[in-house]
Amino acid sequence: MLQLKLYIAEKVTTTFNIVSAIIFLFIVLQLINVIVQLFVNYTEKTDNSMDDQLVPLLDKFIKVVVISLALIHILNLAGVNTTALLAGVSIGGLAIALAAQETVKNLLGSVMIFIDKPFQIGDLVKGPNFMGIIVEVGFRSTRIKTSDSTIITIPNGIVANSTINNLGARTFRLYKVSLKMDCATSKAQMEALRTELKTFTDSIPEIIHKIVAFRFTEINESYLEMMCEFPINTHSYPKEQEIREILNFKIIEVLDKTEIKLYMPSSTVFLDK
């Protein structure tokens, strides 16, 4: 309609196509944001906290793919030979991949973590050289908060290949106490000890009363051993430590009340005149 010259009409058409592609790109990105927000609303209702970490990672990955494809299309509209460009990028990418094998290993490790789900955010885990609460799981590394509130960053390749003891997945936390008593301890004293502790544990709501165990496990030439097992129904590590302390104080109190003496390792020396 404007009857422009051929080379001007070509530039105008190319510019219009590029602008249209950019506008379409922004529309797609906004659509991705809407879909991601729907997934965020869904994952907030689930019990699995790993979903909350997976959605932002997928959001970034999808946006990188979309933007990369859009850039290739825009370069193609601008007259750039994208075939030769992609071939050069592929060769360069192969060289980078060979030089960054650890990074690729960590990326594969993160995929395995999200697929297997060996732990969730907030779980207390124990590994070969670390122990703490899972704070964040990223594409490259996992962040763990230790008991002294420091943050350990561990590559996902190491996490995926390590033996992880997920302490946070326990249905209860078992506290075992081995009481080694003096051989002079009588049956009546041991039964009194068991009765006192059983009555006390019944008053603690966090202890699973049905499976509390007191067992006279060993008769030794030096001591008599009673094993006490207290299952604590809590997922909070500080709460577990609090109940352990309460039980320890009560055990000391009952031992003193029943006049039971604990076994003290000792030796007797005989002197020949």
Per DSSP, helices labelled H in 145-226 are: 156-161, 187-201
Outline where DSSP puts E strands in 100-162. 124-126, 131-137, 141-145, 151-155
Among 16-30, 36-50, 77-91, the range with the most confident prediction by mean pLDDT is 16-30
Which long-range contacts link 192-196 to residues 24+ away (Cβ below 8 Å)? 192/258, 193/226, 193/254, 193/255, 193/258, 193/260, 194/226, 196/254, 196/257, 196/258
- What is the pLDDT at residue 94? 58
Side-chain half-sphere exposure of 164, counting CA atoms within 13 A: 25
Is the backbone of residue 144 left (phi > 0), alpha (psi -120 to 50) or beta? beta
Outline where DSSP puts E strands in the chain. 124-126, 131-137, 141-145, 151-155, 165-166, 173-182, 213-219, 223-232
Q: Is 181 in contact with 228 (CB distance < 8 Å)?
A: no
Task: Measure the CA–CA gap between 122 and 143, rounded to whole angstroms.
Answer: 11
CA nearest neighbour of 76 among 35, 134, 18 = 18
- What is the pLDDT at residue 162? 82
Task: Measure the CA–CA gap between 177 and 248, rounded to whole angstroms.
Answer: 9
Q: Is 77 in contact with 13 (CB distance < 8 Å)?
A: no
In eight-state DSSP terms, residue 217 is E
Which residues partner with 177 through β-bridges? 228
266 or 215: whose pLDDT is higher? Answer: 215
Query: For residue 17, is pLDDT > 80?
Result: yes
- What is the pLDDT at residue 85? 61
The structural domains of the chain, ordered by start, are 7-99 (1.10.287), 118-168 (2.30.30.60), 170-257 (3.30.70.100)
118 or 92: whose pLDDT is higher? Answer: 118
- What is the pLDDT at residue 114? 75
Read off the tokens for 254: 């009952």
Residue in the structure block whose two tokens are 């009363």: 209
Query: For residue 110, is pLDDT > 90?
Result: no
Question: Please, which pLDDT band fits residue 97 given cuts at 50, 70 and 90?
Answer: low
Which residues partner with 229 through β-bridges? 176, 213
3-class DSSP assignment, residue 123: coil
Q: What is the pLDDT of residues 46-86, one digit of tens each?
A: 666 666 667 777 788 788 888 888 888 888 877 777 676 66
Question: Please, which pLDDT band fits residue 202 given cuts at 50, 70 and 90?
Answer: confident
- What is the pLDDT at residue 87? 65
Task: Measure the CA–CA gap between 136 and 56, rounded to whole angstroms.
Answer: 12
Side-chain half-sphere exposure of 97, counting CA atoms within 13 A: 8
Task: Measure the CA–CA gap between 205 and 244, rounded to whole angstroms.
Answer: 14
